[in-house]
Amino acid sequence: MGGISDQSAFKQDAPLLAVDTLSVSFRQEDGVSTPVRDVSLTLHQGETLALVGESGSGKSVTSLAIMGLLPRPAGFISSGKIRFQTRAKQTVDLAQLSFDGMRQLRGREMAMIFQEPMTSLNPVLTIGEQIAETVRLHLGLSGRALQTHVKAQLDLVEIPDAARRMDDYPHQMSGGMRQRVMIALAMACQPSLLIADEPTTALDVTIQAQILLLIDRLRRETGMAVLFITHNLGVVAEIADRVTVMYAGQVVETAQTVPLFRKAAHPYTSALLSCLPARAKADASGLRRLVPITGQPGVFGKACAFAPRCPHAAALCETHPPELELTDGGAVRCLRWRELA
């Protein structure tokens, strides 16, 4: 299982991040639930990996676990490893790291941006003050050097007229500008890993396109890795080198972006791609129609979680849980993937 990282396109160097059979559980009144089960994924320096899934697939919980931001005390890592290579070229297991150790890395070597910037920005501080606070904390700058660094951060994320906008409060800015501020905060200490959780979902289309370009430009310029969490397959096609698809808390497929969109290996990935309006096919009467995934989300099979909704499910799929198997350049969790290829 742990060998998946060896299969990526960047096999020459050790991955920056290697999540290995990670399970995340939550203590609840009526017992323990495990919304993330046996998740493995890798991310190399300079690479963008899209983590794709619908509601409840576990993609956001996975990212919170990596960042050490699971809601305490209910959420906890129940098994698995999260190996992260630090700047000092040491490999640490984030799943075992102490609270303080994690705090050392967060913001400095790994940073996260969210869908709604307002939830992470402080409404009573100007954006200049907020960036200054982060920079002071992590880089120990002060005085003029600090101010220069703050302005440089705003320039970096292409906020026009940065010297003046430093004195703005978050509520005085548009959604797109606030997302830029969030990115400036995340980039303040030049992290080697940026986790972006649906950062463009709440934005208008023309603004979304700007933010996607910005994130990609920063990745190219700094060599950071981006874990981009999204439900939007269009965004995946725009930004990702590789894709990891989740369903019901498990990874069902990992592949390079182009082959995945050409021909997905897992029936869920293919079915999801068929739901894209751009892939509608004309029926007998000439009306373009989609092929929706049947059944309800949240109805999970006992062995293969997708089996109840899978057009290719066989009797075996109801009894034998599929393992994540290596494919040519990726991985797939399906008993029938070879037959279906």
Partner 1 sequence: MTTPLLSISHLSKSFPTSRGIVQAVDDVSFSIAAGEAFGLVGESGSGKSTIGRLALGLITPTAGDIRFSGQSINGLSERALKPFRRQAQMVFQDPYSSLNPRLRVRDIIGEALDTHALAQDRRDARIAELLDMVGLNASHATRYPHEFSGGQRQRIGIARALAVEPRLLIADEPVSALDVSVQAQIITLLQDLRRHLGLALLFISHDLDIVELLCERVAVLYLGRIMETGPTVQVMKTPRHPYSRALLAAVPKADPEAPRVKRLVAGDIPSPLNPPSGCVFRTRCFYAEGPCASDRPVLAPLDAGWQSACLRDPLPEHE
Q: Which residues bind partner 1 (CB under 8 A)?
A: 54-55, 160, 174, 176-177, 204-210, 212-213, 231-238, 240, 257-258, 261, 271-280, 287-293, 296-298
Helices (H), 189-335: 205-222, 233-239, 257-262, 267-274
Instruction: Note whether 112 and 195 are within 8 A (CB).
Output: yes
Minimum distance of partner 1 from residue 55's CB (angstroms): 5
Q: What is the total residue count of the chain?
A: 341
Minimum distance of partner 1 from residue 230's CB (angstroms): 10
Minimum distance of partner 1 from residue 84's CB (angstroms): 28
Q: How far, in whole angstroms, is CA 86 from its chain's centroid?
A: 19
Residue placing its CB nearer to partner 1 in the complex, 59 or 108: 59
Minimum distance of partner 1 from residue 145's CB (angstroms): 31
Distances (CA, A) of 250 to 35, 121, 123, 237: 9, 32, 37, 21
Instruction: Note whether 46 and 233 are within 8 A (CB).
Output: no
Instruction: Note whether 39 and 58 are within 8 A (CB).
Output: yes
Instruction: Note whether 257 and 240 are within 8 A (CB).
Output: yes
Instruction: Note whether 313 and 275 are within 8 A (CB).
Output: no
Minimum distance of partner 1 from residue 288's CB (angstroms): 6
CA nearest to 49, candidates 58, 59, 37: 59
Minimum distance of partner 1 from residue 282's CB (angstroms): 11
Residue placing its CB nearer to partner 1 in the complex, 9 or 137: 9
DSSP, res 340: H
Q: What share of the chain is helix, strand, coil (3-state, %, to 5)?
A: 35, 25, 40
Residue placing its CB nearer to partner 1 in the complex, 265 or 271: 271
Minimum distance of partner 1 from residue 17's CB (angstroms): 22
Residue placing its CB nearer to partner 1 in the complex, 104 or 232: 232
Minimum distance of partner 1 from residue 240's CB (angstroms): 8
Residue placing its CB nearer to partner 1 in the complex, 40 or 208: 208
Residue placing its CB nearer to partner 1 in the complex, 115 or 257: 257
Residue placing its CB nearer to partner 1 in the complex, 134 or 270: 270
φ and ψ at 74, to 5 degrees?
Answer: -65, -45
**Please, is 210 exposed, middle or buried when counting C-beta atoms within 10 Å of its C-beta (0-12, 13-18, 19+)?**
middle
CA distance linking residue 88 with residue 74, whole number of Å: 32
Residue placing its CB nearer to partner 1 in the complex, 46 or 259: 259
Residue placing its CB nearer to partner 1 in the complex, 110 or 260: 260
**Residues contacting 42, CB < 8 A, separation 6+:** 4, 5, 8, 15, 17, 18, 19, 49
Minimum distance of partner 1 from residue 104's CB (angstroms): 36
Report residue 134 as tokens: 């982060």
